[in-house]
Structure 1
């Protein structure tokens, strides 16, 4: 089958800036799809069938796919492959059946308006995503470009910056870029008081830390006091060694079994936007710790499962890596985790008890891997002097499932 679906990016200036090829694709289409704003750009005399995006968007995607073979044109904003509908369509439809024509996108326009180069900015979309994701991107002197969900996003961003100790950050709100209603609003986060904001807006942020604020690294490990916990936390030094053993890669899914306050799974996700975590915890009182920590540290999409492993592990998405931080002696837990791993998957477990060591040593004799004893001592005052205080030693087993 040939190319039947075209996706054409349109700016706020409408069809005037489209290339001849893009105009031809729009003109020859039998059916047009887009938001009301885009479809209203068409001449009033255009009587071709038109589909307005439904909510949820999946309904319209299914309708488009049902018209496979007909000439369909989707009108999109700017660059359809930059957090756009082109990405969604591409997941469902082979590229061989599509033609994608971008126009000048939000990123290009925003950088031009504020005078930033592409390579010095980080981008984040908050369209249909939790605004708390912002927390993972904030550090002193960072330059952020944020795609807003609607007119309320700038005030939410300002609030997060203030609560994170970045109230002096500069916000530049770029409304309807490229059109005749374009407007730029500049404000400090701590003095934000604008209420009349267009739904179509992009936020440029120059992050400025308040005095005394220390940015939290995206590389492990965060200080223990960055987390709310009841003592059940993998200590900073052990966490750093553990994250190195887990070795997260973009797109991988971690099972954090016996998650405690969620520190390992959260730091796994902080390494890359596409890293995912399912945290499994049997203590109900710790679920709020995990949720609060995930929200405040920029990983609100972490998934939390309440229950005791291995029973709580049923019907979960297949993991790439499993970390067992607690409950290693639970009957059937290691067996269930090993079976759940695909070939090439990795299992990492930390134990502090003799019983736990005996369990993993039996498995180590069968499967191999690396068995490591980790001991850490920290200097602390003893009266008028200083001495070394030991953190409880950890025995760590790391093993990869054969292909």
Structure 2
């Protein structure tokens, strides 16, 4: 490896005394040391120039690049590549320009205090992300370790959990782990009264309560989605996701996004999956945005516009779902522009759209499936089957 000019040092709350000899040598040889005021205050006297890292974090990257040519140290918390600054540095600098000397992460300290195996415990960095990313993990008996911004964020977390019906959950509030200010206190979400929670803070969460847990299988309950009626219903949604067959890292176009349920469940299938929803109606686009945010997949990208025009500058997908706006023009555009191996799934309700899919299937292949669903409904004092509109689903690989 080339001799790097930048060293990222994972500093704990105990300051330099917890560093390896290699990290100490890097500090002593540095011409400039950058980091947040909290970390810089832990250092002894050094010959190096000290530069406080600004807020927001991205404003510090130009300052970092400006140190190129000097021996520089960047102080970070614990492991820089676990919800830390390492990702941004690796994107900004060439590989040979930097090296990382990680320390124990806050997650490692928290697991050691609580006796929770890290391999079985979801770990989320929510100090700069919405609390709703925790939503898929909220099921009675489950645990999670969560990094939070400060004491106010802990109060927001408890209020949110209580509103969702998980106020009985136990919160282990872990402050300044690994240093002289370390403190661990426990409470329930609904009973939080602490007003002196110190930064940096993490929470060990043990979920309890009668809130609605999100099932792990596709075809989540319709009640989870805010809708004006433009919603792919649960059984059809499960069949549609099965046909779309999401794989880790794949990208979906959801054309005619509606309430966003297909794209949202696609994103729920794996954290590396991505999706773009195209919706012409601004109210529906806003509703889909709320649904995605509330269910913990705020990474859904929504483009307000009408296909195929709205598709032209989008990154190419691995799969496409047509939930609205099905037409000859739409299919012709997709078939001539999509890359080979792209999977395409379309659902038809009307006779006209069914005829369109039937013709296309006869011309280019794929599978047609007729979906007929009925539910029990009262008829006087008895019961009978009430049929929903049948759906024809076409699935094909370009």
TM-score, scaled to structure 2: 0.92
**For structure 1, which segment, 177-186 or 191-200, has the greater mean C-alpha deviation from structure 2 after superposition?**
191-200
How do 1:279-318 residues align onto structure 2 when only pairs under 5 Å count? 279-318=277-316
CA distance in 2: counterparts of 1:338 and 1:400, whole angstroms: 10
CA distance in 2: counterparts of 1:215 and 1:361, whole angstroms: 39
Shift of 1:154: 0.8
Q: Which residue of 2 aligns with 1:363?
A: 360
Shift of 1:244: 1.2
Shift of 1:15: 0.5
Shift of 1:396: 1.6
Q: Which runs of 5+ in 1 are unaligned?
A: none
CA distance in 2: counterparts of 1:69 and 1:251, whole angstroms: 37
CA distance in 1: counterparts of 2:339 and 2:93, whole angstroms: 28
Structure 1 residues 202, 71: closer, same or farther in 2, change over 3 A?
same
Q: Which residue of 1 aligns with 2:99?
A: 99
Structure 1 residues 67, 353: closer, same or farther in 2, change over 3 A?
same
Shift of 1:115: 1.8
SS of the counterpart of 2:369?
strand
CA distance in 1: counterparts of 2:38 and 2:374, whole angstroms: 62
Q: Deviations over 1:92-136 (max 9, x none)?
A: 334444321111111111011112121331111112211222212
Structure 1 residues 65, 347: closer, same or farther in 2, change over 3 A?
farther
**For structure 1, which segment, 168-177 or 378-387, has the greater mean C-alpha deviation from structure 2 after superposition?**
378-387
SS of the counterpart of 2:217?
coil
CA distance in 1: counterparts of 2:264 and 2:132, whole angstroms: 13
Q: Which residue of 1 aligns with 2:124?
A: 124
CA RMSD of aligned residues (A): 2.2
Q: Which residue of 1 aligns with 2:275?
A: 277
> Is the 8 Å Cα contact of residues 161 and 167 (structure 1) preserved in structure 2?
yes
CA distance in 1: counterparts of 2:363 and 2:49, whole angstroms: 65
SS of the counterpart of 1:37?
helix
CA distance in 2: counterparts of 1:366 and 1:26, whole angstroms: 69
TM-score, scaled to structure 1: 0.91
Query: How many equivalent residue pairs?
Result: 397
CA distance in 2: counterparts of 1:219 and 1:276, whole angstroms: 18
CA distance in 1: counterparts of 2:295 and 2:99, whole angstroms: 39
SS of the counterpart of 1:355?
helix
Q: Which residue of 1 aligns with 2:203?
A: 203
Structure 1 residues 106, 281: closer, same or farther in 2, change over 3 A?
same
Shift of 1:339: 5.3
Shift of 1:12: 0.1
Q: Deviations over 1:19-43 (max 9, x none)?
A: 1111122222333221121222222
How do 1:318-357 residues align onto structure 2 when only pairs under 5 Å count? 318-329=316-327, 332-338=329-335, 341-357=338-354
How do 1:206-245 residues align onto structure 2 when only pairs under 5 Å count? 206-210=206-210, 213-245=211-243
How do 1:4-403 residues align onto structure 2 when only pairs under 5 Å count? 4-44=5-45, 46-68=46-68, 70-210=70-210, 213-329=211-327, 332-338=329-335, 341-401=338-398
Shift of 1:338: 4.2
CA distance in 2: counterparts of 1:258 and 1:60, whole angstroms: 40
> Is the 8 Å Cα contact of residues 136 and 213 (structure 2) preserved in structure 1?
no
CA distance in 2: counterparts of 1:391 and 1:365, whole angstroms: 26
Does residue 1:3 correspond to 2:1, yes or no? Answer: no
Q: Deviations over 1:276-303 (max 9, x none)?
A: 3222222333234323322332223323
SS of the counterpart of 1:265?
helix
SS of the counterpart of 1:204?
strand
